[in-house]
Every structure is written in structure tokens, then in C-alpha cells.
Amino acid sequence: MRCEGYQQRRRDEWERARWQMFLAMQMHPYIKQHNKAKTPQEWIEFAWEKAEKKDKDVSQFLMTEEEKKSVMAQFEKMRKDNGQDS
């Protein structure tokens, strides 16, 4: 889509600007080395990177198929024990 291409170009421009500023800050003689960011992403984090990071963080909470089956088996056992057979 045209909109996605436009957004990608804008992101590329922002990435390029971040790298240019990062490299300029790395060469600055009055900033101590331990105060400098190690990567441009540490220095500035863009909104789309936060969204991608959030998506990755959520995936750790999703259950695997085996876990789902185990939970459903426990649920069914509890239903039978409580006399709620269908």
C-alpha cells in the first residue's frame, strides 16, 4: 500500500537522523564515555519500536498447546467433581 511505503520512508528518515545524532554525540569530547549510550536505540526509542517491544513482551504470556490442554483437563476434572456434567 502507498501509506505503508510512506510510513516506512519516514521511519527510515528518522532512523538516519538518530544515527547521525548518535555518532555526533559519540565524537563529542566533553561527554564522558560512561554517560554515552552504547546504541542509538538506548539514546532515543521511537514509538514503533515500543509497540514492537510490547508485542514481543506479550508473547511470553501466551500458553503453549500442551499448557492449554492441561488447563482444559483440569477444568473438566473440576466440573466432574462438582457434578456439572453436560
Q: How many domains does the chain have?
A: 1
Tell me if 86 is assigned to some domain. Answer: no
Q: Which domain holds residue 67?
A: 2-81
- Say how far apart CA 10 and CA 17 lie, in whole Å: 11
Asked whether residue 45 is domain-assigned, the answer is yes
pTM comes to: 0.47
**What is the tens place of the pLDDT at every residue in 1-42?**
568 888 889 888 988 888 888 888 888 777 777 667 777 777
Note whether residue 9 is domain-resident: yes
